[in-house]
Amino acid sequence: MGYRRCGILAALLCILSFSATAQMVVRVTGGSIEGAAANGITSFKGIPFAAPPVGELRWKKPQPVVAWSGTKKATAYGAACMQDPAMLRFTSAPEDVSEDCLYLNVWTPAKAATDRLPVMVWIYGGGFAAGATSSSTYEGTRLAEKGVVVVSVAYRIGPFGFLAHPELSKESGKGSGNYGLQDMIAGLEWVKANVAAFGGDPRNVTIFGESAGGIAVSMLGASPAAKGLFAKAISESGGNFAPPRHTNEGGQNVPTLAVAAKFGADFLAKLGAQSLADARKLSSEQIQKALPPGLGGGFWPVADGDVLPGDQFVLYSQGKFNDTPVLIGTNSDEGALFVRGAVAPAEYEKQIRDGYGEGADKILAANPHATDADAATAAKNIFRDSAFAWPTWAWARLQSSKGKGPAYVYYYDHRTPQSPSGATHAAELTYVFRNLGTLPAVGGDSANSKPRPEDVAMSDLVSSYWTNFAKTGDPNGTGLPKWPAFTESAQNVMVLDEHSSARPIPNGAQLKALEDYYAWRRSQSPHQH
C-alpha cells in the first residue's frame, strides 16, 4: 500500500497505513512534514520546534516556530547545536554544527493515531557543552520496536545555552542562563501539542536522559515551568541535589546566578563585546573559538530563581517538585572516563581536603587510598559518587519519602572485555537503545566490537525495564528479575550484571560520607540561591 495524504483538519486524527517503503505526511505546529517508514517504524527527522535562536533571539528563551508552506521533508537530522565539532566524532554524529539547531526527531511504531502509545523523550548528555540527537547510539528505531514513540530533542549548549549576564537578567526580568533547559521545555510543549498525530499519548510522556541529560531530567523535575509536561522520568547517571556553587566547593556544579553572571560578563569582555547588542552581532564561530577545546568552557545550568528556583534538595524536602515515578541509577566504574593514570596518595588526600572541607575526614576514611593503586581507585570513585551516585541516592530517598510516585534505582555493572573493571560512564546507552555495536555516547566500551550473547541479553533486559516503566510507571514484567521500589527503610537497588537481581546498594558507605559533607555545606548557606 502506498501513502495517502491527510487533510489539514483530519491529519491530527489519522496516521497513515504504510508499506516497507512508504512515506507519511503529518500536520504539526508550523506546517506539514513527510517522514519515511521502514520495517514497521516511521521516522521523522529535523522537525523544527522553535524559531532559530539567532541574531536578536540569541540568549533568549525559545520563540514560536516559524511556519512553512508546502510539505517539509523530515528525513534528515538538523545540525547539532554549536560546539567543538571534534566532540561529535566521539558520538559518531555528523560534524555539522549551527546556531540554528532547535529540531527534534520522532520514531513511531503506531498504525493509527488512536493507538495512544507511551512516549519517551530523549535528552542527550555531553557536559552541557556537547551532544547531538544525530548520534548513531540514539537512533530510535530499535527502541520504538518495543511499543513506544521515541522523540529526541536538541537543546543549546555551552555559552549559547547557558550564558548568564546582568544585562540578560535585566532584559528577561527573571534571571538568565538557562536557555538550554528552556529549549527542552519547549520541546516537551511541542510533544504535548503534536505527539497524538504520531500515535503517541500526550498524557503518558517519559523524559529520559544520561549524564548532563540525566541531570537535566532531574532539573525538569524541580522546574515549575515543566509542570504537567511529563508523567515519568528516567535519569541515567544524573541528578542535581548538591547545593548551588559559590566558589570551588567539591562536588557542586550549578552556580548561583551571581556567580554565573560574573562568569558571563568576564566571557563577553574576553570577546571584546562592550554590550549585549555587540555580543549578539558576533558570529557563532567567533564565540565558539573563544572556548577551550572539548568539554571546557565552564558553562552550566544556573540556579536562577526561575527555571531552577533553588537548591533541589531543599525544594524536594519541602514537597516542591513535579511528582512522578522515577527510574534512576548509576554505573559501577563511572569515574574511569574522567580520572586516568596514576594518582599518588598524598595528591588524592590534598584534593579531597582542598575541596571537601569539614567533610574530608569521613570521605578519606570511606575511600582507602594508602597505595598508588588504591588512590587511583579512590579518585575514580569519588568522581563517580559526587558527580552521579550521591545525587541519584539523594533523589531516590527524597522521591520515595516526599512523593507519591515510586523510585526504582539501578546499579549498572555489566562488564565486557573492553571494561573488565566495571561499567564505564555511558556504557549502558547502546544497551538501552538496542543499538549494540555503535559507538557509545562518549566513546569507549562497545565501539566496533561484536556483541556477545550476554550483551544482547543485557540489552533486552534494560530496554524491557525502561519501556515497561514508560508504559506503566513500573519496570517489572513477565520473565524479568523482580525489581522492588526503593524506600528509605529498604534501600535495595537492581544490580544489573551477569546475575541481575535486587541487592543492597554497593557503595553505601561512600555515599553516607558524602551525605554528611553535603549536609555541612548546606548548613553554611541555607538561604542562598
What is the Cα–Cα distance from 127 to 177, expressed in whole angstroms? Answer: 15
> Architecture of 8-524 per CATH?
3-Layer(aba) Sandwich (3.40)
What is the Cα–Cα distance from 491 to 258, expressed in whole angstroms? Answer: 37
Helix, strand, coil % (nearest 5) of the chain?
40, 20, 45
Output the tens digit of pLDDT for each of the chain's 529 residues: 233 334 443 444 444 433 334 568 999 999 999 999 998 999 999 999 999 999 999 999 999 999 999 999 999 999 999 999 999 988 889 999 999 999 999 999 999 889 999 999 999 999 999 999 999 999 999 999 999 999 999 999 999 999 999 999 999 999 999 999 999 999 999 999 999 999 999 999 999 999 999 999 999 999 999 999 999 999 999 999 999 999 888 888 999 999 999 999 999 999 999 999 999 999 999 999 999 998 889 999 999 999 999 999 999 999 999 999 999 999 999 998 898 888 999 999 999 999 999 999 999 999 999 999 999 999 999 999 999 999 999 999 999 999 999 999 999 999 999 899 999 999 999 999 999 987 654 444 444 578 999 999 999 999 999 999 999 999 999 999 999 999 999 999 999 999 999 999 999 999 999 999 999 999 987 554 4
59: left (phi over 0), alpha (psi -120 to 50) or beta: left
What is the separation, in whole angstroms, between the first and last Cα of the chain? 59
Q: What are phi and psi of 386, to 5 degrees?
A: -75, -40
Instruction: State CA 488 to chain mean position distance.
Output: 25
The mean pLDDT of the chain is: 92
Domain range annotation of the chain: 8-524
Q: Please identify every residue annotated as catalytic.
A: 211, 334, 425
What is the Cα–Cα distance from 186 to 442, expressed in whole angstroms? Answer: 26
